[in-house]
Amino acid sequence: MSGQTNQTIKALLGDVLRESGDLAQKEFTLFRTEMTQNVRMMFVGVGMMVVAAVFSVAALMLFTEALVDWLAGILDSRALAALIVGGAMALIAAGLILYGRRAMAAASLVPTRTVRSVKRDAEILSERVVG
């Protein structure tokens, strides 16, 4: 009986090692895929912010000039009109910067699905070894 038990233990250990290797390979593939997606989303977010900034600068130059001219006609002071418009534009820019930072933070580089999957697999393996 001792020889048969010994062979059974060896077979079980072989199965565990083989399954662990397969599991590790699948976990690494999941990690790589998730990291690629996260980095891609981050680059998309950065790219959109850059493109938006380019269009915003061009539009703001035209709108600012028109708004300053219109307000200068009402206030009879070009300097005061430029100051009011410049202050409003600075507030808008600050809001856009805060929004952009929040959008970039949402694309976390932490592979949450992989971490969750590895924890679950470790629990299953420890139950198999103990049980």
Identify the residue with better confidence: 113 or 107.
113
Long-range contacts of 29-33 (CB under 8 A, 24+ apart): 30/111, 30/113, 30/114, 30/117, 31/111, 31/114
Cα torsion through 73, 78, 82, 84, rounded to 10? -60
Q: Tell me what pLDDT residue 68 has.
A: 95
**pLDDT tens-place string over residues 72-110:** 999 999 999 999 999 998 999 999 999 988 888 766 666
- Report the chain's mean pLDDT, rounded to a whole number: 85
34 within 8 A of 111, measured Cβ to Cβ: yes
Cα angle 118-120-125, degrees, rounded to a multiple of 5: 90
Q: Is the pTM of this model over 0.85?
A: no
DSSP assignment, residue 131? -
> Which residues constitute the domain of residue 41?
2-130
The tally of domains found in the chain comes to 1
